[in-house]
Amino acid sequence: EAGELADELEQSIYAVGGFVRDILMDTPNLDLDLVVEGDGIAFAQALGDKLGGRVRAHRKFQTAVIVLPDGQHIDVATARLEYYEYPAALPTVELSSIKMDLYRRDFTINALAVQLNKSQFGRLVDFFGAQRDIKNRVIRVLHSLSFVEDPTRILRAIRFAQRYSFQIGGQTERLIKNALGLGMMEKLSGSRLFNEMCLIFEEKTALACLRQMRDLRLLSAIHPMLTLSPAQEELLEEIEKVLEWYRLLYLNHAPRSWIIYFMALANGAKDEETQSLAERFNLTPKQINDFLALRKQLNQSIYHYKMWKHRKGPLSQLCFQLDELPVEGVLFFMSKFKQEATRRDLSQYLTRLKDAELDISGRDLQLAGLPEGPAYGEILKKVRAA
């Protein structure tokens, strides 16, 4: 449909970036990014109308997002030429063509396009040797100032290298070291850094990323506290296993992985040190307080769990204690304690008890004629315990 519409509007249209990379690598990817040689916003509005979606436009960047009725997003950009006023700044924008659009991207493997217009449907646009690099399994930047322009690309290079088991190209690695030598990491804003770290923590290979970051002396450039000690590595290995186990349960809510990784990276650190790390990532005071509170709560839960185990208490008691802890806390707890019995208790809680719904609600008590009051909570709690 996008191709037909572009034909009608006499514009060239391409699918670009990760979507094309993942087609060539036979990996599923549902994030469609389109680039229009023409007016991207007008195109997005027309395509949004056609598909019954809503469109949000960002005039400054000449981009738009179409939100389809099923919640899926399509990003639409205008092929454009970018200037950077100074390294790591946000780009200012001017109209131009697909080649320039691809040239401003991070790596060759992400600088691919497939044309969607009917007469050219499926034409692969590869100006920078992306197919060769995919075949040779290397991550390569497009030009030597790439990391100075945008140091988040250093983290992206590592993320893609680990995700696909690619090598970072020799020259590209030298450019990373060069950018680090210029102090680019220190210049990177906390929120952009945090954003990239969160993406790393969503990967199954997050620990491998952290190890590569340490080997490139990137971790210590971010914050001296990030040493990745052998004990932390061991804990992170367990976290990866626990998160994978949890993922495979296909429960409704995905945990915020970053919280669990942060708990590991700040494991054993004092509150002030943790605070300083959190400030480097520009966490809000609320996020920092929540994080410190979670850590405190976790220690209490561990203590209560041990008491419960010792006293051979009822399962309901464990359940109420763990209800105090967000899921990230329970998963971290599981990662920290490898004993089979502990894992069994916690996994039983997560899989069978945590989200167990009651057959009755306050409404039933109302219908039974019970006067409203604190008794409601007590009764429902007892039903849950039973």
Q: How many CB atoms lie within 10 A of CB 324?
A: 12
Query: Is residue 153 part of the contact set for ligand ATP (CB under 6 A)?
Result: yes
Q: Can you tell me the distance from the alpha carbon of 124 to that of 20, in angstroms, rounded to the nearest whole number?
A: 9
CB contact set of 126 (below 8 Å; sequence gap of 6+)? 112
Minimal distance, residue 195 CB to ligand ATP, in Å: 10
Distance, CA of 159 to CA of 21 (rounded, Å): 15
Handedness of CA 201, 205, 211, 216 (dihedral sign): negative
The residue from 32, 33, 44, 66 that contacts ligand ATP (CB under 6 A) is 33
CB of 169 to ligand ATP, least distance (A): 16
CA 248 to each of CA 112, 235, 241, 251, 276: distance values in angstroms, whole numbers, following the listed order: 32, 20, 11, 8, 35
| Single residue of 12, 63, 152, 321 touching ligand ATP by CB under 6 A | 152
Q: Which amino acid is at 229?
A: S
Q: Is 80 in the site for ligand ATP (CB under 6 A)?
A: no
Count of residues engaged in binding ligand ATP, rule: CB under 6 A? 11
Task: Choose between 97 and 342: whose C-beta lies nearer to ligand ATP.
Answer: 97
Distance CA 361, CA 372 (A): 13
| Closest separation in Å from C-beta 227 to ligand ATP | 27
CA distance 307 to 285: 33
Tell me the closest approach of the beta carbon of residue 238 to ligand ATP, in angstroms. 25
Q: Which one of 62, 110, 162, 257 is in contact with ligand ATP (CB under 6 A)? A: 110
Q: Does 313 bind ligand ATP (CB under 6 A)?
A: no
Find the shortest distance in angstroms from Cβ 246 to ligand ATP: 21
**CA distances in angstroms from 65 to 41, 288, 334, listed in the order given:** 9, 32, 39
Which among 43-51, 145-153, 229-237, 244-252 is the span making contact with ligand ATP, rule CB under 6 A? 145-153
Tell me which residue has its CB nearest to ligand ATP: 18
Structure tokens at 209: 């990323």
Give the range of 103-111, 225-233, 306-314, 352-360 binding ligand ATP by CB under 6 A.
103-111
Residues 6+ apart with CB under 8 A from 351: 249
- How far apart are CB 107 and ligand ATP at their closest, in Å? 8
Stretch that binds ligand ATP, among 149-157, 241-249, 286-294, 326-334 (CB under 6 A): 149-157
User: Least separation, in Å, of the C-beta of 287 and ligand ATP?
Assistant: 22
Q: Which stretch binds ligand ATP (CB under 6 A): 104-112, 216-224, 243-251, 255-263?
A: 104-112
- Which CB sits closer to ligand ATP, 103 or 245? 103
Question: Rounded CA gap, 162 and 207, in Å?
Answer: 9
For residue 319, the 8-state DSSP code is: H
Q: Assign 14 to helix, strand or coil.
A: strand
What contacts 77, CB < 8 A, 6 or more positions away? Answer: 16, 33, 34, 35, 36, 40, 61, 62, 63, 101
Q: Which residues pair with 78 in a beta bridge?
A: 36
261 vs 305, which CB is nearer to ligand ATP?
Answer: 261
Among 126, 150, 240, 328, binds ligand ATP (CB under 6 A): 150
State which of residues 41, 44, 98, 106 lies at the interface with ligand ATP (CB under 6 A). 106
CA distance 142 to 111: 9
User: Which range of residues in 133-141, 151-159, 181-189, 280-288 is near ligand ATP by CB under 6 A?
Assistant: 151-159
Q: Which residues are CB-neighbours of 259 under 8 A, at least 6 positions away?
A: 291, 294, 326, 328
> What's the one-letter identity of residue 366?
Q
Q: Which of residues 1-30 bind ligand ATP (CB under 6 A)?
A: 17-18
**Binding stretches for ligand ATP (CB under 6 A):** 17-18, 31, 33, 105-106, 110, 150, 152-153, 156
